Structure 1
Amino acid sequence: MAETKPLQSGIYTGKVMHQRVLPKQHGFSYRTFSLCIDLDELPRLQQLRLFSVNRFNLLSFFEKDHGSGNGELAAGVRKLLSRRGYAHACTRISLLCYPRILGYVFNPLSVYFCYDADNRLQVILYEVTNTFRQRHTYLIPADSTEKLQHSCNKQMYVSPFMPLDTRYSFTIRPPGSAVSVGIRQHDLQQQLLFKATFAGQQETFSDAALLKRFLSHPLMTLKVMVGIHWEALRLWRKKLSLQPREKGPRNSISWYDQNGDFHDESL
């Protein structure tokens, strides 16, 4: 009997920190965990008792929560990459995100790690979703497997207290025994407005680990959404100015082609 290949997917347990710097200081942190799912391993993962794919369970993953929202996520991501000149980055795709817990999830930021046939990281997709269920993806080539730093202009309304004319800077340590994601947001004068980080340690993707995380982080995904609105209320009480919201497209993408030219379009 052939030996079963070890899972590339994992669970990362750690802490999220948010810190608003300007115009007023405001911050918080909380314990959390994320899944890093190899999209080609979804059939194997749904064999677990406590985890399901595209159906309800204690913890679950629904393909429609990401990408175009039309399901068949791996095929959709590969099509997206290929259409923009990155077919070589389609061999393995891992997605760092929150799971559904008892059927509920909200992912402010999901990160796709896209590898070539030699298992070299070639592209990162930063998928940002706001509370109005709009989604914008930033496609940026990767040039390292150790620590990556990316920058791009903000393209979608996210927070009622943060202007659109700002720039994101991402610092990423790709998944291994640990993972980290850092975001810094600057205004057009290069002043730091906001920073956030997630850093987590890897655990094996198993029923035992999933149950342990569920018990240690009960209703985590619901708390993410409640926390967003609670922190917004606290900022409003600090008299921060509300930013106008333009509806914009439901799903859009920005990307750098292999010549370094920037593009932006609706999906």
Structure 2
Amino acid sequence: MTLHSCLYRGSVMHRRLRPKVHRFRYRAFWMLLDLDEVPALASRFRLFSHNHFNLFALHDSDHGDGSATSLRVQAESHLARAGIDIKGGAIRLFCMPRTLGYSFNPLSVYFCYRSCGQLAAIIYQVHNTFGERHAYVAPVEAGDGNIRHDCRKAFYVSPFMDMSMAYRFRLNEPGQHFALGIGASERGQAMLSACLTASRETISDGALLRNFLTIPLVTAKVMLAIHWEALRLWLKGMGLRDRPQASTDTITLAAISPKQRIDSHAL
């Protein structure tokens, strides 16, 4: 069986430009999981499980709406609300795996393909440290190698960032290398940029173990890094923003083509 699922190893960089300059970088690794392959992966590899404890695992409740509904069904529901039908095509989730029972993904990305193999849409699911989640759903135009999506910020993430902001996502379809950049701006001024770069690795028990030994407890490391960097920002004099009441709608359409920029709107 030829697997589409694989590993990606690389780093994440954040750079804040205003009102205080702040920058950090850390190493990490991710899995690109074809949702239809997950049961076979759990049977084939000793160090990976599906909805069960292991060194690494995918728990459906760590993504989507946290319910027992399968991630494919949830993703297809999001796409349907955006008017996108992939007709049973592959859905591949790019995320950090649950590690020794602990999971946190600031961002997980669903690549949604039509049955012909053409990338049709991307779902960017953002998680905050308060246990809340929000999905930005965006179509992809045929032949668009350099993907860009714009949307207004609709979800509270950081106590140091206002809600009146806009995002620009830019990325390539995962191949031997994968890069994802996110820019945040307010009233036309760039406020923050983040960049993820990673290289593909074949998935195997040996590769999983090597990544655990060289980048141990990756999801816990991310959570600790978030709080450490928040402390550093506070010590630099950054003021805290009040956390707004969570929206009842957890999906936003980020329907931006590379040829025409339009305002995003809630579905």
Instruction: State the TM-score bracket (shorter-chain normalisation).
Output: over 0.9
Alpha-carbon distance between aligned partners in 1 of 2:250 and 2:80, rounded to the nearest angstrom = 16
Does residue 144 of structure 2 align to residue 142 of structure 1?
Answer: no
Q: 1:112/1:253 Cα in 2 relative to 1: closer, same or farther (>3 Å)?
A: same
1:118 aligned to which of 112, 116, 119: 116
Alpha-carbon distance between aligned partners in 1 of 2:21 and 2:27, rounded to the nearest angstrom = 21
* Secondary structure of 2:250's aligned partner: strand
Residue in 2 that maps onto 1:214 = 212
Residue in 1 that maps onto 2:21 = 25
Give runs of aligned pairs for residues 81-92 of structure 1, distance below 5 A. 81-88=79-86, 90-92=88-90
* Secondary structure of 1:7's aligned partner: coil
Q: CA RMSD in A?
A: 1.8
Which range moves more in the overlay, 75-84 or 27-36? 75-84
1:190-247 CA deviation, whole Å, 9 max, x = no partner? 1111111111110111111101111110111101001100100000011112111112
Alpha-carbon distance between aligned partners in 2 of 1:255 and 1:232, rounded to the nearest angstrom = 29
Query: Does the 8 A contact of 2:147 with 2:170 survive in 1?
Result: yes
1:31-66 CA deviation, whole Å, 9 max, x = no partner? 110111101111111111000010100011101111
Number of aligned residue pairs: give it.
Answer: 260
Alpha-carbon distance between aligned partners in 2 of 1:226 and 1:262, rounded to the nearest angstrom = 32
- Unpaired stretches in structure 1, ≥5 consecutive residues: none
Does residue 240 of structure 2 align to residue 238 of structure 1?
Answer: no
Deviation of 1:84 after TM superposition, in Å, equals 2.9
Runs of 4+ in 1 over 3 A off after TM superposition: 256-263
Whichever residue aligns with residue 153 of structure 1, its letter is R
2:4 aligned to which of 5, 8, 23: 8
Residue in 2 that maps onto 1:224 = 222
Identity %: 43
Alpha-carbon distance between aligned partners in 1 of 2:184 and 2:200, rounded to the nearest angstrom = 27
Q: TM-score, normalised by structure 1?
A: 0.93
Whichever residue aligns with residue 70 of structure 1, its letter is S
* Secondary structure of 2:36's aligned partner: helix
Alpha-carbon distance between aligned partners in 1 of 2:115 and 2:168, rounded to the nearest angstrom = 28
Residue in 2 that maps onto 1:77 = 75
* Secondary structure of 2:129's aligned partner: coil
Give runs of aligned pairs for residues 17-166 of structure 1, distance below 5 A. 17-47=13-43, 48-71=45-68, 72-88=70-86, 90-143=88-141, 144-166=143-165
